[in-house]
């Protein structure tokens, strides 16, 4: 276990009143527990995957964590599970029809026969996020939790970004620095102009994509605000490289709905922005499923 923070207000006997949010990426599994009564996150844990688990059966790695963790088996009020993946597509709400999830996603991505398709309604954006999750992971989690809602990282990444009140005019870039790839969104006057993901290995790749986007969209890199989040956003070489060319660089601010209990004050919100925002972005009414 790489992170284990539990506030003293957390009570196992109150689990039925808590919301559980879980995320999985190529590096490991993390989860947080939200207390709606106090409106605070009261626990956060992070587990790393071994290279053997990643190269072998990822489902077994997830199953092992679920079996060994002493909190994951509690009867939570709600459970949300988020997968980090580049396999997603945004569809404007005006054109969205949940009968055509496979058509939307297969237009941009090659799907496996066993993939299961889901979608989240990103209400502030006026669009639906359509994505795929391997059926082995879906089956495992459905067996573990009685009621589970599935999500993909673009949903909590874009939801608070489009609602951000700190920037009113001009261009603004949001970047989520994940382990394997980055999410990038460009806004102007709270309207989304671009969302995409890019694979990167080092600071040179990261800088290339940022500058390429600015050049193609005729954005002045000396003046555009660049707001970063994600588990790698505090990696010094990445931050310093971006700051050298894009001086208006800053970390994402925590919204009022994502407060942390005192026992979690050591957590930097912007590193776990997507996970900590998940409870406000995805509800049972907004999540739909279609078997591929």
pLDDT in tens, 186-204: 999 878 999 999 999 999 9
CB 24 within 8 A of CB 82: yes
Asked whether residue 291 carries a pLDDT value surpassing 80, the answer given is: no
Which residue from 149, 198, 151 is spatially nearest to 173, judged by alpha carbons? 198
Asked whether residue 70 carries a pLDDT value surpassing 70, the answer given is: yes
Which tokens in the block code for residue 173? 């870039």
Mean pLDDT of the chain: 90
Q: How far apart are CA 98 and CA 117, in angstroms?
A: 10
Give the pLDDT confidence score for residue 258 in this predicted structure: 75
Give the pLDDT confidence score for residue 127 in this predicted structure: 95
CATH code given to domain 164-251: 3.30.420.260
State the pLDDT confidence band at 292, using cuts at 50, 70 and 90: very low
CB 212 within 8 A of CB 219: no
pLDDT in tens, 213-260: 999 999 999 999 999 999 999 999 999 999 999 999 999 987 776 789
State the pLDDT confidence band at 168, using cuts at 50, 70 and 90: low
State the pLDDT confidence band at 282, using cuts at 50, 70 and 90: confident
Percent of the chain scoring above 70 in pLDDT: 92
* Residue 270 Cα to chain centre, angstroms: 11
Give the pLDDT confidence score for residue 61 in this predicted structure: 87
Annotated domain spans of the chain: 164-251
H helix intervals, 71-153: 101-106, 135-144
Give the pLDDT confidence score for residue 287 in this predicted structure: 55
């Amino acid at each position: 276990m790489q992170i284990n923070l539990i506030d003293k207000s957390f009570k196992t006997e109150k689990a039925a009143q808590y919301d559980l949010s879980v995320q999985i990426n190529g590096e490991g599994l993390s989860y947080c527990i939200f207390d709606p009564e106090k409106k605070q996150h009261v626990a956060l844990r992070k587990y790393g995957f071994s290279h053997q688990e990643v190269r072998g059966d990822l489902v077994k790695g997830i199953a092992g964590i679920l079996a060994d963790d002493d909190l994951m088996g509690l009867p939570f009020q709600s459970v949300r599970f988020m997968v980090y993946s580049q396999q997603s597509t945004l569809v404007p709400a005006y054109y969205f029809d949940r009968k055509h999830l496979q058509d939307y996603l297969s237009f941009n991505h090659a799907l496996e026969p066993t993939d299961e398709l889901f979608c989240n309604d990103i209400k502030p954006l006026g669009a639906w996020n359509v994505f795929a999750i391997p059926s082995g992971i879906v089956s495992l989690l459905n067996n573990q939790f009685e009621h589970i809602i599935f999500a993909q990282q673009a949903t909590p990444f874009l939801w608070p970004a489009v609602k951000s009140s700190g920037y009113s005019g001009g261009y603004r870039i949001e970047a989520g620095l994940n382990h394997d790839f980055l999410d990038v969104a460009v806004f102007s006057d709270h309207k989304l102009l671009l969302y995409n993901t890019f694979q990167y290995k080092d600071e040179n790749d990261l800088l290339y994509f940022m500058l390429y986007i600015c050049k193609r969209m005729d954005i002045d890199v000396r003046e555009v605000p660049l707001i970063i989040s994600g588990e790698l956003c505090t990696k010094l070489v990445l931050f310093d490289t971006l700051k050298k060319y894009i001086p208006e660089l800053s970390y994402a601010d925590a919204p009022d709905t994502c407060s942390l209990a005192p026992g979690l004050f050591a957590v930097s919100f912007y590193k776990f922005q997507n996970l900590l925002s998940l409870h406000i972005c995805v509800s049972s009414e907004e999540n739909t499923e279609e078997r591929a």
